[in-house]
Amino acid sequence: MNFKLLRVAPVAACMAAMFLSSASAHHSFAMFDQDKIVTMEGTVTEFEWINPHSWLHFTATSEDGQEQEWSIELASVGQQVRAGWTPETLKPGDPITIEFNPLRDGTRGGTLLNVTLPNGEKLGHGGMPANPITTN
């Protein structure tokens, strides 16, 4: 019996270490002001279809007429696929309307709530539970 325990214990320890390291590696969303929603019109400059999070970069015109680059975090590729996204969903030059929770520190970034594509289709953030855009 002791030999069985000695063989199983290392496997169990490795599995626990893998679970704990991946669970603790994910960042908090406290950096986003989830009480504030920003809506902007802009033009896609880059769409990064990568894990652990995809990124949407776009330019928008500020109130003083200056072009500004914004970076918006999306969910993982797998979650975005389940919400209807593909690597070709957005291309540089595409006009978009985007809603997002901004960064608390005021830098030009945030986490996606939804985006309206050039064809009028609206897609949401794949990582959000009960996303009304993807459950209709």
Distance CA 93, CA 59 (A): 10
Asked if the structure places residue 2 within a domain, the reply is: no
Q: Confirm whether 28 is domain-assigned.
A: no
What is the tally of structural domains in the chain? Answer: 1
Confidence of residue 135 (pLDDT cuts 50, 70, 90): very low
26 found inside a domain: no
Cα–Cα distance, 50 to 119 (Å, whole number): 24
Q: Would 132 be classed as within a structural domain? A: no
pLDDT digits 0-9 by tens, 13-43: 544 444 443 444 555 677 899 999 999 999 9
Compute the distance between CA of residue 129 and CA of residue 77 in angstroms, rounded to an integer: 16
Range of the domain at 87: 38-124
Query: Tens digits of per-residue pLDDT, 92-104?
Result: 999 999 999 999 9
Q: What is the CATH number of the domain that holds 115?
A: 2.40.50.140
Tokens standing for 92? Answer: 């540089």
The answer to whether position 9 is within a domain reads no
For residues 86 and 83, what is the distance between their CA atoms, to the nearest angstrom?
9
Is residue 32 in a domain? no
- State the DSSP H helix or E strand holding residue 15, giving kind and residue range, or none if neither: helix 2-25
